[in-house]
């Protein structure tokens, strides 16, 4: 399969999961944290999909992953209903801390005390 086809499938999976995650009833997933699907990585045979999620707020990482693993069957069924794929991939959830890391770097940069020299033309 050409890679642009897999990219389109990844985007469709990300979109469907982003729509369905707020509807999940598991309290481990809906524990007051903002959950965002940042990236999906589907294998070429469409059998497996790694779903990278970013979580902002106070949460228990282990419980969140257990909750996501617990609702993966429901989410997979919803994917099958929403997308016309040869196979509905098995979902594996992984935490993506890139947004939190970016916010941390931004906070560090903003906290720097940089003196600007007004006499310097640069």
Which residues form the domain of 79? Answer: 3-111
CB 92 within 8 A of CB 48: yes
Annotate 31-59 with b (16+ C-beta within 10 A) or e (fewer): beeebebbebebeeebeebbbbbbbeeeb
- Length of the chain counted residue by residue: 122
* Token pair in block for residue 72: 């993966």
| Residues forming a β-bridge with 48 | 90
> Is 118 a domain residue?
no
> Is 105 a domain residue?
yes
Count how many domains the chain has: 1
> Is 119 a domain residue?
no
> Is 59 a domain residue?
yes
**CATH code of the domain in which 72 resides:** 3.30.300.20
H or E, element range at 49? strand 48-56
The per-residue pLDDT for range 38-61, each reduced to its tens digit, is 999 999 999 999 999 988 777 777
The per-residue pLDDT for range 57-113, each reduced to its tens digit, is 777 778 888 999 999 999 999 999 999 888 899 999 998 877 778 888 888 888 887
């Amino acid at each position: 399969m050409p890679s642009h086809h897999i990219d389109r499938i990844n985007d469709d999976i990300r979109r469907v999961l982003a729509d369905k995650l707020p509807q999940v009833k598991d309290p481990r997933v809906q524990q007051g944290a903002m959950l965002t699907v940042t990236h999906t990585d589907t294998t070429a045979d469409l059998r497996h999909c790694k779903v990278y999620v970013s979580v902002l707020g106070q949460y228990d990482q282990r419980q969140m992953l257990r909750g996501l693993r617990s609702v993966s069957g429901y989410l997979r069924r919803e994917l099958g209903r929403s997308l016309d794929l040869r196979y509905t991939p098995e979902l594996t959830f992984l935490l993506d801390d890139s947004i939190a890391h970016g916010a941390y770097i931004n906070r560090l940069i903003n906290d720097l005390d940089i003196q600007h020299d007004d006499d310097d033309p640069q």
